[in-house]
Chains A and B, each alone.
Chain A
Amino acid sequence: MTLGTSTRLGLFLLLAPILVWLIALLVLPHADMFLVSMREKVAPRTYEFSLANYAEFFTEPLYWRTFARTAIMSIAATAMTLLIAFPVSYYIAKMLRGRLKSFLFLLCLVPFWVSELVRTFGWMILLRESGVFSNVFQWVGLADAPVEMLYNDATIMVGLVYTSMLFMVVPLVTTLDSLDDAQVEAGYDLGGNAFTVLREIIVPHAMPGIVSGCIVVFMLTLGNYLTPVLLGGKDSLWFTAQIYTQFITRFNWELGAAFGFLLLALSSLIVWAGLKVTRQTLTETMG
């Protein structure tokens, strides 16, 4: 069957805004960025084609270690988000009915009515040396001097998990909602216990939600800038902060661009490896 001219025109008009958006905002800047990343400044205002920027990432330990640290902490944050979000989602999707259910689901959304920057400053007010927690601890008698709870990895982790929660809860609630209660009951009826029913029936059913939630949370965490930098301070050693430094502080756009592409490539590689290890496919997850 061939499409009529008018149908084809209609299709084109429908797709046009998406295409413009894709090309103008994604393809063009990235293509330019890619070219920038592949050149080296040999003299003022003279550039040459070179892979030196990419080589620098692998030869300078600070850079690749920062990336490895970022990736590992992102994976840990993703795992922690999943562990906390799963019971919460199960409770919302399967235990609650009616208005309470929608209310709790909405409650997960509330933190996102405040911008990430303001939210993170909120954490800082709570956790800094002269902050609320520090004062409460001293008042209760748990500590006899001000406690600094900012600028360490645990705090970064808490901030990242908090920021990511919603992106895990939404896909999980959606998939768990579609799980028939009778499946769980059949699991018990045929001799399963809480653990085997979870492993054999609930988790396999929720797998598409788990995978898509994990991918989104991992990518968001890896690419997060505000939370690690504000809560972790100068020593947060987050890879996006490194990119920022190259572009803004060092004015080394070539290296910054190369880092940007490495972030993209390496994170895609990690997601791909994660899917392989858990034997999931993207098509299954999405469709």
Chain B
Amino acid sequence: MLETTDSFDLECRSLVRRFGAFVAVDNVSFGVPQGDFFSILGPSGCGKTTILRMMAGFDQPTSGDILIKGNSVLDVPPNKRPVNMVFQQLALFPMMSVAENIAYGLVRKGLGKSEIADKVKSALDRIGLPTSGDKSIKQLSGGQQQRVAIARCLVLEPTALLLDEPLGALDLKLREHMKVELKKMQDQFATTFVYITHDQSEALVMSNHVAVMNEGRFEQIGTPQDLYYHPDTAFVAGFVGDSNRWHGTVERADSSGVKVVTADGVSLLATPAGDAPLSKGGEVDIFVRPESVVLSLEAERVSGMDNRISGELISILFNGANSRALIRDSKTGGELDVALPQTGEFSTLAQGAEVHLGWGLAQAKAFAVNGERP
């Protein structure tokens, strides 16, 4: 958790939002430092948009407080809050030109004509559309509309920009491109971004801090590296990045680690993780990253490792440096996803080949299964 101080640009304290009996946002607290790229990452329906709408002022929390630069804004209407929102479907005004869209907020602020013209021109330059001011919104491509929607907010120099899955409507290729673009725009305008998404790669690539959200609660807040290498909960371990996953019962737990037996009878050694203590007989989930698994054609190479599995190569998912091998455990039939180093050693690997896998106990994280969560 980030510590609570007054230096945050934007802060939520014990935020709760109920819709009838349903708790959409459940006691969420976080702070966003000045200039941060802060993401809220969670599956669809977990309450991300609800949080953002409360920060923008379109929705009121059932309880809790929202502070901007240290002052509570609960009584401030959306048009007076120094934050602006980029909507999921952009919500550009179709009856106005590109320049008029960008000028809209400046006109509402009552700025002079020439000042507005200057600001609009410089914004158009910065988003790489210097000659498109007179075009209608429909003449722009999806990515260009995206940039206009963001520029329209940033010309107002808000304390923070709130973005609701802004890349969701774009095709994959453009999405990859816009990730870089967004990060660049944040640097250029030097504004705090609060970004919500269900796509973990968007959150990991762009953010300084990420909050992982599930069913209305924050599971963990941290840097992308924190979340990836030190997940606090099974949900974070499973949701952020790819993992191989086993479910089993603790057979022995001591200071060196836990020994877990799965329903298939596989014995695995793992490191306890998360807050809940593990004890003999408890049910756990074990997570192992594909790149933590050593893949070898000879059994001796992995013989010294804590966990070992022999299996058969089902297929290779070639993707350059991110290539994967899909391997079927010969004992249980379970499938494993393993990173495939592009070192030449495996270039002749063919389907059906027998391979040996091994990983250390430190790379396997065991979480007590939900239900016992505080």
Query: Contact residues of A with B, CB < 8 Å?
Result: 180, 182-183, 185-193, 196, 200-201, 204-205
Q: How far is the CB of A58 from chain B (nearest CB, A)?
A: 42
Contact of B84 among A189, A192, A201, A205 (CB under 8 A): A189
Report the interface size class on chain B.
Answer: 20 to 34
B79 touches A205 (CB 8 A): no
Inter-chain contacts of A180 with B (CB < 8 A)? 89, 91
B85 touches A200 (CB 8 A): no
State A189–B56 Cα separation when bound (angstroms). 7
Inter-chain contacts of B108 with A (CB < 8 A)? 190-193, 196
A182 touches B95 (CB 8 A): no
A201 touches B93 (CB 8 A): yes
Inter-chain contacts of B104 with A (CB < 8 A)? 187, 190, 192, 200
B105 touches A190 (CB 8 A): yes
B79 touches A188 (CB 8 A): yes
A182 touches B87 (CB 8 A): yes
Contact of B93 among A183, A185, A189, A196 (CB under 8 A): A183
Q: How far is the CB of B7 from chain A (nearest CB, A)?
A: 25
Number of interchain pairs (Cβ within 8 Å): 55
State A192–B93 Cα separation when bound (angstroms). 13
Q: What are the interface flags for B171-208 relative to A under an 8 Å C-beta threshold, 1 for contact and 0 otherwise?
A: 00000000000000000000000000000000000000
B95 touches A189 (CB 8 A): no
Inter-chain contacts of B109 with A (CB < 8 A)? 191
A186 touches B87 (CB 8 A): yes
A188 touches B78 (CB 8 A): yes
A183 touches B78 (CB 8 A): no
- 29 pairs across A/B with beta carbons < 8 Å? A180-B89, A180-B91, A182-B87, A182-B89, A183-B91, A185-B58, A185-B87, A186-B85, A186-B87, A187-B93, A187-B104, A188-B77, A188-B79, A189-B57, A189-B79, A190-B79, A190-B84, A190-B105, A191-B79, A192-B79, A192-B104, A192-B108, A193-B108, A196-B108, A200-B93, A200-B96, A200-B104, A201-B93, A204-B95
Q: How far is the CB of A141 from chain B (nearest CB, A)?
A: 46
State A189–B80 Cα separation when bound (angstroms). 8
Inter-chain contacts of B96 with A (CB < 8 A)? 200
The answer to whether residues A205 and B87 also contact, given A185-B78, A191-B105, A196-B108 and a CB cut-off of 8 A, is no
